Amino acid sequence: MTIKTTNLGFPRLGRKREWKKAIENYWNQAITKAELDETLLNLQRENLLLQKNHHLDSVPVGDFSLYDHILDTSLLFNIIPERFQGREVDDDLLFDIARGNKEHVASALIKWFNTNYHYIVPEWDNVTPKLGRHIILERFNYAKSLNINAHPVIVGPITFVKLSKGGDQSLEEKVRTLLPLYIEAFEALIQAGAELIQVDEPVLVTDDGEDLEAITREAYEAFAGAEVAQKLIIQTYFERANVKFLSSLPVKGFGLDFVHDRGENLKQIKNGDFDASKTLFAGIIDGRNVWAADVQAKKALIETLATYTDDLYINPSSSLLHVPVSLDDETLDETVRDGLSFATEKLEELDALKRAINEGNHEKLDTLQAQYERFQNQDFKNLTYDFDSVRASRESKFETRKVLQQERLNLPDLPTTTIGSFPQSPEVRKKRADWKNNRISNEEYETFLKAEIGRWIEIQEDIGLDVFVHGEFERNDMVEFFGEKLQGFLVTKFGWVQSYGSRAVKPPIIYGDVKWTAPLTVKETVYAQSLTDKPVKGMLTGPVTILNWSFERVDLPREEVQNQIALAINEEVLALEEAGIKVIQVDEPALREGLPLRKAYHEDYLRKAVHSFKLATSSVADHTQIHTHMCYSQFGQIIHAIHELDADVISIETSRSHGDLIKDFEDINYDLGIGLGVYDIHSPRIPTEDEITIAIQRGLQQIDRSLFWVNPDCGLKTRKEAEVKDALNVLVNSAKKLRQHTTTPTA
């Protein structure tokens, strides 16, 4: 048997984020367009050659982009937002659509399925679809000029239209409009020499997949009619596909994810659903996580798959867009490095598998296997936990807690607070960077932090807020901060992945069992509390969010890792309580976005998420007030889970879409404390007293007054100091005017 290797997409960012830097420099007019083009072409070449040097039989092109490949596809078909029409279709137009310009707002960004990548939503209002700028062809030709056997990657018509918005036509009509244009685009690629074209149709693995089958069949039959379908590989990823359905389409083959499918794709193949005459792109190496593969197990899987098809490619389970570029720039302990694999190392794994299978050369495979096994047996992965020893529900019911908390906190009617962070001014960021790079001493840094905390305590006193925060000046990121301090987490230097546009995130890697070893936030919080008689809220990130925004382990059930984190956060909650902190907020902004792609798995996810949050927060005394925060307003089907968290107070974003929220709350009698964000912190605009008053009054129609809190809708770290002061003054004044009785003297 012989197999081939391929890839579905490579990270754009560059090893040291050269891509991001070049693009931002161009935006800031620090470099010319020619300089930008040169840097990006070098980067493309580097990516292509790196893949070629790992002996891929076919290297993807068209995955590279200046911003987002969905936006590239929009430009390819001239699907240009109405407000940007009439301009030349070039990179500047692309950037303007993505970022907005002085005259027009940007197009919306939406999460790419269940990843942390965000794409630009195509807008169909009054568009004139036609074949526009064919950037994929340009890139294909470029690869050809480097003597690289490449295959173009293009988002398929069903996925492209499904992710679009606007226009009067139905989904089917839009797809039909695009079909001749897709055919034209395919023909141009085939004429240029493309032997395979990877057509990404991840939407087929979602709950909508089944409803889309009729139009999918129609589309791919049209491609067969035009005699282009024999070059097409329909690519799916992130979940199981309908193998029987895909087998019935008149294309060369298709791609399946064998890592994130819960075993369902292989099951269908074994069941006889796979048409053996098709080419299979088998996603066997995890394309969205950072772990070294168990290559022996992968080899066995390949051997099984090879009995079902004559034309087998092995590849990562998805584009490598979702993992960092290379381990080479990290300084890592061998014991940890053994277990990791970024994009470049994944190509090595594929190559080692191919050599072992095609040539019987096991050398590299054996080395990788030995590393893998060494890593799995490390002590740091084999601690024991007693999850049952920690409370997972509060001692008393909310009604009881509420009275005890109020006796202790003595809060006024309509209490006011903020979400946690205050401005990360250039000075704050500079001091933190100076300290991290050993340019200033611990002492100097701590003195600075204390001064900043002190200043903001005074500001909060002046404004007259009721529950204070310390301001989070010591944190760069609400997950990385905890990752740096908890045992079991690794924070890398260059482990960046693209989130949207030029923005990248550096998720911590949970490589071992998680343990709390020392207080994480107590010093700053207690210092802040020492400066005021008002309660200062402790500020933590919750287990669900920490897990969702990290690279998670896969050698343990997800639930267990989440609960390990929950126990660690629980220790910190208790440490804060012990130190006299009366209010503790545990943020869970990522709870909703962690929902699995398919609804069938939602309930299980939510049940486990709720349990972890409760493990983290239920051990405190009844008189300690637990807050949580989430920054979205459409709770829909998760509202019951939110209620089950049993947090004494939740603060949520509402200012941008009141209507939806009120609707969600009609379905449930929400009887815990709740702060509906009364103004939008994402805008620099200062709200008026009237606006805030209306927002409060509207909320009071839905929610019992005794449960109601007044707060902004998210943290204030991106705002300027003057904006924060002005807005919070308006907020506090509005609340005070609406107060029916005052239990604390007003300033």
d(CA 242, CA 249): 11
Look at the block and give the residue holding tokens 């794709």: 265
Within 13 Å of residue 239, how many CA atoms lie on the same side as its CB? 20
* Least distance between Zn ion and beta carbon 530 (Å): 27
Least Cα distance to 156 among 173, 172, 171, 178 occurs for 178
Q: Based on CB atoms, which residue is closest to Zn ion, 156 or 699?
A: 699
- Burial string for 508-537 (b: 16+ CB within 10 Å, else e) reads bbbbbbbbbeebbbbebbbbbbebeebbbb
* Least distance between Zn ion and beta carbon 692 (Å): 18
Q: Which of residues 160-179 bind Zn ion (CB under 5 A)?
A: none
The annotation status of 111 as a binding-site residue, yes or no, is yes
Kind of pairing, strands 109-111 and 625-630?
A: unpaired
Interface with Zn ion by CB under 5 A: which range of 14-22, 465-473, 552-560, 627-635?
627-635
The annotation status of 549 as a binding-site residue, yes or no, is yes
Q: Which residue(s) pair with 487 in the sheet?
A: 515
d(CA 739, CA 413): 6
Least Cα distance to 242 among 275, 220, 265, 212 occurs for 265
Q: Which residue(s) pair with 536 in the sheet?
A: 468
Q: Which of residues 525-554 bind Zn ion (CB under 5 A)?
A: none
The annotation status of 24 as a binding-site residue, yes or no, is no
Interface with Zn ion by CB under 5 A: which range of 74-82, 341-349, 586-594, 639-647?
586-594
Q: Based on CB atoms, which residue is closest to Zn ion, 136 or 419?
A: 419
DSSP-derived 3-state class of residue 302: helix
The residue within the footprint of Zn ion, chosen from 13, 631, 638, 728 (CB under 5 A), is 631
Is residue 520 a contact partner of residue 475, using CB atoms and an 8 Å limit? no
Q: Which of residues 64-123 bind Zn ion (CB under 5 A)?
A: none
* Least distance between Zn ion and beta carbon 632 (Å): 8
**Phi and psi (nearest 5°) for 462?**
-60, -40
Interface with Zn ion by CB under 5 A: which range of 407-415, 500-508, 584-592, 700-708?
584-592
* Least distance between Zn ion and beta carbon 420 (Å): 8
* Least distance between Zn ion and beta carbon 63 (Å): 32
Is residue 202 a contact partner of residue 113, using CB atoms and an 8 Å limit? yes
d(CA 615, CA 565): 10
Residues that bind Zn ion (rule: CB under 5 A) add up to a total of: 3
DSSP string, 61-72: ES---SS-HHHH
Q: Based on CB atoms, which residue is closest to Zn ion, 70 or 419?
A: 419
State yes or no: residue 714 binds Zn ion (CB under 5 A).
yes
* Least distance between Zn ion and beta carbon 532 (Å): 24
* Least distance between Zn ion and beta carbon 651 (Å): 8
The annotation status of 629 as a binding-site residue, yes or no, is yes
DSSP-derived 3-state class of residue 495: coil
The annotation status of 719 as a binding-site residue, yes or no, is no
Is residue 661 a contact partner of residue 634, using CB atoms and an 8 Å limit? yes
Interface with Zn ion by CB under 5 A: which range of 51-59, 199-207, 582-590, 594-602?
582-590
Under 8 Å CB-to-CB from 347, ≥6 apart: which residues? 7, 50, 51, 54, 56
How far are the Cα atoms of 1, 350, 679 from residue 660, in angstroms, in the given order? 57, 47, 16
Least Cα distance to 266 among 305, 312, 315 occurs for 305
The annotation status of 145 as a binding-site residue, yes or no, is no
The annotation status of 252 as a binding-site residue, yes or no, is no
The annotation status of 516 as a binding-site residue, yes or no, is no
Is residue 94 a contact partner of residue 147, using CB atoms and an 8 Å limit? no
Q: Based on CB atoms, which residue is closest to Zn ion, 174 or 629?
A: 629
* Least distance between Zn ion and beta carbon 613 (Å): 16
The annotation status of 421 as a binding-site residue, yes or no, is yes
Kindly state the DSSP code that residue 235 receives in the 8-state scheme. Answer: E
Question: Which stretches of 464-557 are DSSP H helices?
Answer: 480-485, 522-530, 543-548
Query: Which is catalytic among the residues 118, 658, 682, 741?
Result: 682
In the residue annotation, 682 being an active-site residue is answered as yes
Give the CB-nearest residue to Zn ion.
631
Q: Based on CB atoms, which residue is closest to Zn ion, 542 or 589?
A: 589
Q: Would you give the binding string for Zn ion spanning residues 259-278, x where CB under 5 A is met?
A: --------------------
Interface with Zn ion by CB under 5 A: which range of 92-100, 238-246, 499-507, 712-720?
712-720
Q: Would you give the binding string for Zn ion spanning residues 587-626, x where CB under 5 A is met?
A: --x-------------------------------------
d(CA 144, CA 137): 10
DSSP-derived 3-state class of residue 150: strand
Q: Based on CB atoms, which residue is closest to Zn ion, 141 or 634?
A: 634
Interface with Zn ion by CB under 5 A: which range of 189-197, 231-239, 329-337, 714-722?
714-722
Which residues bind to Zn ion, rule: CB under 5 A? 589, 631, 714
Annotated binding-site members for L-methionine: 419-421, 472, 587
Annotated binding-site members for 5-methyltetrahydropteroyltri-L-glutamate: 17-20, 111, 549, 593
Annotated binding-site members for L-homocysteine: 419-421, 472, 587
Give the residue numbers annotated as catalytic, written as ranges: 682
